[in-house]
Structure 1
Amino acid sequence: MARSASSRAGDIRAAALELFTRLGYEATTMADIGAAVGIRGPSLYKHVASKQELLAQIMTSTMEGLLAAHLAAVATTEDPTERLRRAAEAHVRYHARHRLEAFVGNREIRGLVEPHRGEVLALRAEYEACFRELVNAGISAGRFGVGSARLASYAILDLGMGVAVWFREDGELTEDTVVWQHGEFALRIVGVKA
């Protein structure tokens, strides 16, 4: 039974993601990707334009996923403390569930060329700005005691990116425990006032 084009594209993307994680973007060839999905290198171009296009798709969809998770997390409350907690929790949960995407997104930015690099960097800046706005809102409301909203947002973002490195589903801590605890850490970073 023939595979649908969208299913084949998903298989190709998944293979590229695994290979970029294991070998690195530069060391991975289109032939490697084709072999991983059972397609000869030249036939692969019927499904994907280039290795660069695959990297751009992975990195763009990762940032779009993070932004969507963030917006959903903060949409149901106006309380600055709760909004920051929920945003941090969504950030950590995404990284726990999408470790390979996070790894490639952090390590392989250097492999992107324009216009892809600029697009991904703009999405990253937008995402960081979302956290900075939350911190600034808490400062303005007198709820957070932190000197630099930018530095606090970077620290909170680093929490999630670190989870992508060490978290495992079969590890000592459950995803929910890790997510909840990192929400607490985020509030400590901004110096939540009682």
Structure 2
Amino acid sequence: MPSRAEEIRVAALGLFARLGYEATTMADIGAAVGIRGPSLYKHVASKQDLLAAVMTGTMRELLALHREAVATTDDPAERLRRATEAHVRYHAGHRLEAFVGNREIRSLVPSNRRRVLSLRAEYEKCFRDLVHAGITAGRFHVMSARLASYAILDLGMGVAVWFRADGELTEDIVTWQYGEMALRIVGAT
């Protein structure tokens, strides 16, 4: 059973995705979990803290999944494939986090925005480092590791927009295909 804090986070995420951060009130969040608005402050400091927690939590989870995906191989192509598949699988299963993460960055106060943007930069660098490693090993043939990492990340984030578990393609097929696309982007040999 999820903790009260997790129930509140999930409710806030759903409301931020449906109504937008600005239109969501603490009373809305409280009502979604059966707590009167003022009592909600016993569990969370502010709506801003909830948004920051959602966005930093998403990035920390993506970073952890990335590290886990690449930990058991040194082969540059396999590392990039596994990282891409983890990225795509996350976005296929966490559509609301992706939507809120992209749409509500503007709603973060500057200190929270800096923290989220720093985590995003760290995540992009993980992919760029994989591409650099492949270039150095003579396995990838691409002019810009940064551009390649951006392309791979953008492809994966787009999955959150269109993927449906009951759709034409399974999550496994989609993740495998995107792994193949990532290798084509970097000109893997």
Q: Does TM-score exceed 0.5, indicating one fold?
A: yes
Query: How many percent identity over aligned positions?
Result: 79
2:6 to 4, 10, 21: 10
Instruction: State the aligned residue count.
Output: 189
Name the aligned partner's letter for residue 134 of structure 2. G
Aligned counterpart, 1:42: 38
Distance 2:12 2:5 in 1: 10
TM-score normalized by structure 2? 0.98
Shift of residue 114 of structure 1? Answer: 2.9
Question: 3-state SS of the aligned residue for 1:125?
Answer: helix
Instruction: Give 1:128's match in structure 2, choosing from 117, 124, 129.
Output: 124
- Structure 1: how far apart are the matches of 2:6 and 2:132? 39
Residue 165 in structure 1 maps to residue 161 in structure 2: yes
Unmatched tracts of structure 1, length 5 or more:
none
Counterparts of 1:129 and 1:175, CA distance in 2: 26
Deviation digits for residues 4-45 of structure 1 (CA, Å, limit 9, x no counterpart)? 9x7111111111000000111111111111111111111111
Runs of 4+ that moved beyond 6 A? none
Alpha-carbon deviation of 1:98?
A: 1.0
Post-superposition offset of 1:157? 0.2
Q: For each residue in 1:40-69, what CA deviation from the matched residue of structure 2 results, as whole angstroms up to 9, or x when unmatched?
A: 111111111000000000001100000000
**Residue type of the alignment partner of 1:125:** A
Instruction: Classify the secondary structure of the residue corresponding to 1:115.
Output: helix
- Structure 2 distance, partners of 1:7, 1:86, is 32
Alignment partners' CA distance in 1, 2:10 and 2:81: 31
Q: Any residues of structure 2 matched to 1:31-110 within 5 Å, and which?
A: 31-110=27-106
Amino acid of the residue matched to residue 105 of structure 1?
A: G
Q: Which string of whole-angstrom CA distances, capped at 9 and with x for unpartnered residues, describes residues 89-131 of structure 1?
A: 0000111111111111111111111321111111000000000
- Picking from 174, 177, 185, the partner of 1:181 is 177
